[in-house]
Structure 1
Amino acid sequence: MIRYDKKDLPIELTEKTIANNQRQVGSSRAKILMRGVTEQQLLDLAHSARALFMSEPVLVDITSPLIIVGDLHGQHTDLLQYFKRCGKPPDQKYLFLGDYVDRGRQSLETISLILAYKLKYPDKLAVLRGNHECSRINRIYGFYDECKRRYSTKLWKVFTDCFNCLPLAALVDNSMFCAHGGLSPDLKKLEQLNEIRRPTEVPDMGIICDLLWSDPDGSYAGWKENERGVSYTFGEDALIRFMNDCNVKLVVRAHQVVEDGYEFFADKKVVTVFSAANYCGEFDNAGAVMQINEDSVCSFVILKPYITKKKSTLEESESAGDLEKKEDFKVKEQEEMTESVTNIQKSK
């Protein structure tokens, strides 16, 4: 295993990246964060982050209070808005569920800022892999082209090598299982995850693939081939078996655009969190992040999209507008896990 040493931290770039973020977080529109940043500095950032991720387990243990962030897809301005509302590391702890790159215009800004914070405050951020942190995917959907246009294909290769070392899942307060996509029919015990060897590409099938690609579906029981053409969808019965076997009370995942930025499944046993508002300038969806306090009371900060008029036409922006807080709920404690598992209800 590669050991991470803080003396290897590219501190100049890290401080520069974070300082740029702090200047931009109050502005209405972020400037290009990478201006003045050399390719070598970004290469050093990715190499150092890779070493740090290799020092962490595949299944990361993390405790509340914290903020859970879903898909961002290069929408750097949205990330800055969440930092502005919820607080920045080290004052606030974050868990990122993946899909930092592709489709949005500022994938490099988004992933570089997250990695810079991770390197400076490693205990304040957990950074998981999404299905777009995969060379076969981000070669097609934008990240490769952005790296090539702004720097070189070498930078893309080094970032994808870093992505091959990312943790795949997290366990919050020993009760909330978090992954980008969802569950796997091959995952019976959480201990299996730390047997996975990294670095690794995303295979076409198996636990790694399923954690990044699977989706919940309440229209049937059990497991079914996913219409995406990759992995499976899982019904409530499969979910309940997993929760009982692994002593989990809630599954938190991302991976799907949802209108309000978050959406529940299976009587609030699963919650989808999607943080990119007005995704790709096409969906008019809200973005959201999930807050968990010390008492496991959860709530959502909503980032609403806005539409601006330009030359008598409606032009949808990739950035978002107002933030609001919505819907508290609590993971209730029970003495025993039953077949119906623990319900998640609004706090009174």
Structure 2
Amino acid sequence: MSELESNMAENGGGAVAPPADVSTAMKVVTPNPETVSAAEALKLEGNALLAESKLGHAVGKYTAAIDLHPTAIYLSNRAFCYVKLEQFGLAILDADMALELDSTYVKAYYRRGSANMALAKFKLAVKDFRKVTKMQPKSKEAAAKLKASEKMQKEAAFAAAIMTDADVPLAEEINPDEIVVDSGYDGPRLGDDGEVTVDFCKAMMARFEEQKLIHKKYIVQILCQVYKALKDSPSLMRLHIPEEEGSHFTVCGDTHGQFYDVLNIFKLNGLPSAKNPYLFNGDFVDRGSFSLEVVTTFLALKLAEPEGIFLTRGNHESKNMNKIYGFEGEVKHKFDQTVMTLFAEVFCWLPLAATLDGGVFVTHGGLPAEDSCKLDDIAAVRRGREPPDSGIMSDLMWSDPQPFTGRSPSKRGVGMAFGPDVTKAFLEGNDLKLLVRSHEVKEEGYLVEHDGKCITVFSAPNYCDQMGNKGAFIRFGSDLEPQFTTFEAVPHPAVRPMAYAGAFGNVMGL
């Protein structure tokens, strides 16, 4: 646990009176002692819920406390919850208001820096962490966060300066045959033709389960092959349920490096095949520390059973997220930068969405910001790049549903929030009946909203080893009616989430 976050939520003695020059963004009326006491009690309830990782409930308690008596502590505590929920836009707003109330409250700078880091706003993150180090000059943790954010700022600037459209991807230049497999390697091997078979996949998964890796040569071969296959795939996949009577199609949500829970999905529902097809809806990596095993399994199965497994891109299949949430560190620990570069190139060619029998629309985040957007517009989105800050690609990967009508700025700081009227209009305008998306942890593993027209499915149970949620997957038959299966987390080796995230692990609240 980090030094600055060792008390996840401030438990200090009582509410702090706000300064007299609070801006109109946070009007504060001096409360009576009873109100102060009631607000403090709500904060303590929120702290207890936060300690149990009941983040949504904790947010509710902090919000009630803020409504009674806004203080920098209460706002910063809620910002901490929002960072852990990846609602970075809301975290920044709360940290801003906390600092209006108390410009010396160090945790508000820290949490705003964390949120800015996650949004790749590295210049702003550096500014916040510099403030933290000035306020706590003896804090080794604060110095580490500043160093990490400065490094990312420099790396981003350098990458932007040298990037050109003429660059040849590594996947098109590297020759896997030049990688020598040492005689002591006792794992599964690909043949001379490099064909990835189901038997190879099964042997590889068994080896992963024993916490062993396959040889780098075979990882490189898989990534180079799947890179070429994905380049030839469309941005919008038009998928179909097998024609055999009783056939179905399974849609899974985020798996986030929880390899042993992925194995459990296959145990419950069978391995992917043309007769038992799956769509995994993004966010295969990050957070969980077996991300390499998860995504390599999916990619190898895609080569072995091309009509048995389909993959869409999530917001965590991107360089910025991978730097912060552990996948890059994991790949470098288990292999090297060459392998990480190949993964990044593969991610850029993942499809963005799919339709199922022309009736169900599946994408990781949510709907585009433009009312006029049609399926053909989604199909025409250019891939082969990192996701931009706005536009159709960004919206599909980042957006979330909201309970009220219309659109609103995203709580995440990227993408949009869309209401039931937006969902209805998009579905009707494209002759669809249902939206399936992922992107958000749900207590039961799924949630049906927007008058039954929007389903969130999340397949990483006990997310980050602390959320206590169930996982779920959806089966669709020929009638396109969703059938839900929920499941609990299974044991995994004692490797904590984000074990390879380095300094960023504590920044993000783990």
Q: TM-score, normalised by structure 2?
A: 0.56
User: Deviations for 1:273-302, whole angstroms, at most 9, x for unmatched residues?
Assistant: 000000001100000010112232321111
Q: Which has the higher contact order (CA 8 A, sep 6+)?
A: 1
Change in CA separation of 1:200 and 1:8 when aligned onto 2, cut-off 3 Å: farther
Q: Does 1:60 align with 2:241?
A: no
**How far 1:261 sits from its partner (Å)?**
0.3
Change in CA separation of 1:281 and 1:54 when aligned onto 2, cut-off 3 Å: same
Structure 2: distance between partners of 1:240 and 1:12: 42
State how 1:306-325 maps to structure 2 within 5 Å.
Answer: none
Equivalent residue number for residue 96 of structure 1: 280
User: Deviations for 1:231-287, whole angstroms, at most 9, x for unmatched residues?
Assistant: 110011111111111111000000000000000111210000000000001100000
The counterpart of 1:86, out of the listed 244, 256, 269, is: 269
Conserved in 1, the CA contact under 8 Å of 2:331 and 2:340? Answer: yes
RMSD over equivalenced CA pairs, Å: 2.5
Structure 1: distance between partners of 2:218 and 2:203: 15
Structure 1: distance between partners of 2:369 and 2:353: 16
The counterpart of 2:210, out of the listed 31, 36, 42, is: 31
User: Deviations for 1:51-86, whole angstroms, at most 9, x for unmatched residues?
Assistant: 111111110011122110100000011111111111
Structure 2: distance between partners of 1:206 and 1:14: 38
Change in CA separation of 1:46 and 1:283 when aligned onto 2, cut-off 3 Å: same
Conserved in 2, the CA contact under 8 Å of 1:17 and 1:112? Answer: no
Conserved in 2, the CA contact under 8 Å of 1:62 and 1:172? Answer: yes
Equivalent residue number for residue 189 of structure 1: 374
Q: Which amino acid aligns with 2:234?
A: P
How many residue pairs align between the two structures?
300
Look up the SS of the partner of 1:114 in the other structure.
helix
Equivalent residue number for residue 332 of structure 1: none
Look up the SS of the partner of 2:267 in the other structure.
helix
**How far 1:18 sits from its partner (Å)?**
2.6
Structure 2: distance between partners of 1:283 and 1:229: 23
Equivalent residue number for residue 221 of structure 1: 405
Structure 1: distance between partners of 2:429 and 2:272: 34
Q: Which amino acid aligns with 1:290?
A: I
Conserved in 2, the CA contact under 8 Å of 1:307 and 1:317? Answer: no
Structure 1: distance between partners of 2:431 and 2:237: 16
Change in CA separation of 1:307 and 1:51 when aligned onto 2, cut-off 3 Å: closer
Q: Which amino acid aligns with 2:268?
A: R
Equivalent residue number for residue 133 of structure 1: 317
Structure 1: distance between partners of 2:197 and 2:290: 17
Q: Does 1:248 align with 2:432?
A: yes
User: Deviations for 1:19-68, whole angstroms, at most 9, x for unmatched residues?
Assistant: 233x48xxxx9322x52x12222122111111111111110011122110
Equivalent residue number for residue 211 of structure 1: 396
Structure 2: distance between partners of 1:57 and 1:204: 22
**How far 1:15 sits from its partner (Å)?**
4.2
The counterpart of 1:264, out of the listed 443, 448, 453, is: 448
Quick check: which one's strand share is greater?
A: 1
Look up the SS of the partner of 2:488 in the other structure.
strand
Quick check: which one's helix share is greater?
A: 2
Structure 1: distance between partners of 2:223 and 2:411: 34
Q: Does 1:44 align with 2:205?
A: no
The counterpart of 2:342, out of the listed 136, 149, 158, is: 158
Q: Highest Rg: 1 or 2?
A: 2
Look up the SS of the partner of 2:484 in the other structure.
strand
**How far 1:181 sits from its partner (Å)?**
0.3
Structure 2: distance between partners of 1:288 and 1:150: 29
Structure 2: distance between partners of 1:118 and 1:307: 26
Structure 2: distance between partners of 1:303 and 1:155: 33
**How far 1:12 sits from its partner (Å)?**
5.5
Structure 1: distance between partners of 2:495 and 2:204: 26
**How far 1:165 sits from its partner (Å)?**
0.3
Q: Does 1:285 align with 2:469?
A: yes
**How far 1:316 sits from its partner (Å)?**
12
Structure 2: distance between partners of 1:254 and 1:74: 15
Q: Does 1:143 align with 2:347?
A: no
User: Deviations for 1:127-165, whole angstroms, at most 9, x for unmatched residues?
Assistant: 110000011111110000001111112211110100000
Structure 2: distance between partners of 1:316 and 1:41: 25
Unmatched 5+ residue regions in structure 2?
1-168, 170-190, 242-247, 498-510
Equivalent residue number for residue 27 of structure 2: none
Conserved in 1, the CA contact under 8 Å of 2:196 and 2:222? Answer: no
Q: Which amino acid aligns with 2:240?
A: T
Unmatched 5+ residue regions in structure 1?
309-314, 319-348
Percent identity reads 35
Q: Which amino acid aligns with 1:185?
A: A
Which moved further from structure 2: 180-189 or 73-82?
A: 180-189
Change in CA separation of 1:13 and 1:149 when aligned onto 2, cut-off 3 Å: farther
Structure 2: distance between partners of 1:9 and 1:295: 41
User: Deviations for 1:153-196, whole angstroms, at most 9, x for unmatched residues?
Assistant: 22111101000000000000101000000101236110012212
Equivalent residue number for residue 322 of structure 1: none
Conserved in 1, the CA contact under 8 Å of 2:360 and 2:480? Answer: no
Which moved further from structure 2: 161-170 or 181-190?
A: 181-190
Q: TM-score, normalised by structure 1?
A: 0.81
Change in CA separation of 1:111 and 1:191 when aligned onto 2, cut-off 3 Å: same
Conserved in 1, the CA contact under 8 Å of 2:281 and 2:437? Answer: yes
Conserved in 2, the CA contact under 8 Å of 1:45 and 1:116? Answer: yes
Q: Does 1:117 align with 2:301?
A: yes
**How far 1:307 sits from its partner (Å)?**
8.9
Structure 1: distance between partners of 2:271 and 2:438: 21
Q: Which amino acid aligns with 2:444?
A: D
